[in-house]
Chain A
Amino acid sequence: MKILVCLSKVPDTTSKISFTDNNTRFNSQGVQYILNPSDEWYALVRAIELKEAKLAESVSAVMVGGAEDDALLRKAVAIGADTLYRINAQPMDAYSVARMLADFIKTQDFQLVLTGRETIDYNGGEVPALLAEMLGWELASPVNKLDIVEGKARMESELGALTQVLEADLPLVISAAKGMADQRIPNMWGIRNSRMAVIQVVEPQPVEPLVRFVNYELPPAKGQVKMIPADQPELLVDLLHNEAKVI
């Protein structure tokens, strides 16, 4: 069984978010990019663990992005992926990203496609179900635990107070969420390998995005915090009831 992990790049969690060109573009100046945490920590690491347990033949990683993203993509090999693909296009919306991924997947023989639950920049969470629909595959999402038992996927999915144990045949799209695996720090050997890793560049059919970003705004600054003395916590309840009117 061959696994494909979809990786997106996002600004580091501590990045200062600002915009340029009259607030129409994200200002990437000085921004450090990382792999989206749920793609790297959960989807990629779990795929590699399954390979190490001989439950998967190989782990490939794919990113829709430009040549400037190659260094980031190589990190997947440092962590343990075998093959890297870059679909050569700038991501413009979730629909076009999913379409390019689906077109690529159709030319290959992956049985399991793992994505993250959502990215921490555009926060869409759309790509997993778009992909499943475009491929005509089933989708399990969000998945917090994943095992392969007798060629089938055994999963646990937590939704608020509800936990489900699921079983599915392959092929399958899975969106990975917390609990599936733990972050792995690449070792020296991995880092050396990644420097030599070849990235296979795929030229996609052009796809028109369906959604345009018109402009951005920063949220208004928070007003002054009202401090309540520790020996009168009852005052807080009074303020929440009579002033803020939230209880």
Chain B
Amino acid sequence: MNILVFAESQHGAIKKSGLEAVTYAARTASQHQGTVTCLVAGVDENVASGLGAYGAHKVLKMESHPDALGLSDALSEAIAATQARLVVLAYDALGRHLAPRLSARLGAALISGASGLPEIQGDTLRVRKSVFSGKAFATLECSTPIKILAFSPNTLAPEKKEGTAEVVSFSPATRNSRIRVIKTEEKQGEVALPDAEIVVSAGRGLKGPENWGIVEDLAHALNAATACSRPVADIGWRPHHEHVGQTGLTVRPNLYIAIGISGAIQHLAGVNQSKVIVVINKDPEAPFFKAADYGIVGDAFEVVPRITEAVKKLKAGA
């Protein structure tokens, strides 16, 4: 079976979600004697061939870096060129544009947000995904000739081995979106929440935006992203994109630290797939403790700075 995988790049390097995608495709291929071809844009020859270490056999390298519409065109052409039967990509912000467009264009079944590797038997592919905002898992099945599998970021860690991939230059016909970007603002030095391995999140218990320093300090020490509960974003203490939960972002980091968040069901729905949850709350009855792996009943303003110091010590020693 031929697998085509898309690996997104940024500033000349493949993003972590892209390395995850290649690993995901390689692991799937190894069960089914498949070949893995990877489409990349905006990286040099070395970076492209380096994807061999993650399991790509061949890399289609585009010189230009088109927008989402153009990338969907490039992927359609690559699917035809490689006769791919399975397309693998990360279901992140860009994946949410690409995967459904390909599905509609090719009449190909799309399973989005997969949370494990697929089982493939004959023409049928089955995979699990999280539904009801983390309150359940569903197993989905499809059997169209071409299938699109968009896994949820942080489903598996990139696996680097030995090897280089053959790099072929690829120049598909791509359209440009007619949507004009008037202005782009990028906050420097921040870890993006959707891809973060560690998230430090805080709620109304912090009392006001001026107190977020202790949260940011801990996040810096851990190289983590910051997040918040919904009321905190609603009152404008923190930006909307930090709001996690059922009506905000769903995150699944390796470590989620909740500070001064009560743990309402709608908040838990967006974070309960985190591998390890730490709760710091001054109320021993806070419902969040029931969903936690580690808990501290205490005042955030006293506890958090001491944790930050201990993390710094650990990192300095390591």
Interface residues of A (CB under 8 A from B): 11, 13-14, 17, 19, 37-38, 41, 94-95, 98, 120-130, 132-134, 138-142, 144, 158-169, 177-179, 210-219, 222-223, 225-230, 233-234, 236-241, 244, 246-247
Contacts and interface: CB of A to CB of B under 8 A. Distances in A.
Interface string B277-317: 01100000000011111111111001110110111001000
Contact of B276 (A213, A218, A246): A246
A126 B103 contact: yes
Given A120-B246, A163-B184, 6 more contacts: A13-B265, A160-B241, A164-B183, A219-B136, A228-B296, A240-B278
B100 A130 contact: yes
Contact of B246 (A13, A124, A141, A211): A13
A246 B257 CA distance: 12
Contact of A227 (B185, B265, B295, B311): B295
A168 to B, nearest CB: 4
Contacts of A98: 100, 104
A123 B250 CA distance: 10
Interface in B126-160: 126, 129-142, 144
A126 B97 CA distance: 8
Given A140-B179, A162-B185, A236 B141 contact: no
Contact of A158 (B134, B241, B273, B304): B241
Interface size class of B (residues with CB under 8 A): 35 or more
A222 B293 CA distance: 8
Interface SS of chain A: mixed
B36 interface: no
Interface SS of chain B: mixed
B298 A233 contact: yes
A171 B188 CA distance: 34
Contacts of A37: 246-247
15 contacts: A14-B265, A19-B136, A41-B247, A144-B240, A178-B240, A178-B248, A211-B141, A222-B293, A227-B294, A227-B295, A228-B295, A234-B306, A240-B276, A240-B278, A246-B254
A129 B96 contact: yes
A238 B310 CA distance: 9
Nearest to A158: B241
A173 to B, nearest CB: 11
Contact of B144 (A132, A210, A228): A210
A121 B265 CA distance: 14
B101 interface: yes
Contacts of A178: 233, 240, 243, 247-248
A244 B93 contact: no
Contacts of A228: 294-296
A11 B132 contact: yes
B133 A120 contact: yes
Given A121-B131, A241-B314, A166 B180 contact: yes
Contact of B297 (A126, A139, A227, A234): A227
Interface string B61-76: 0000000010010000
Name, among A134, A142, A178, A223, the residue most crowded by chain B CB atoms within 10 Å (CB to CB).
A178
Q: Which 4 A-B pairs have the closest CB atoms?
A: A230-B298, A160-B192, A129-B100, A210-B109
A229 B100 CA distance: 49
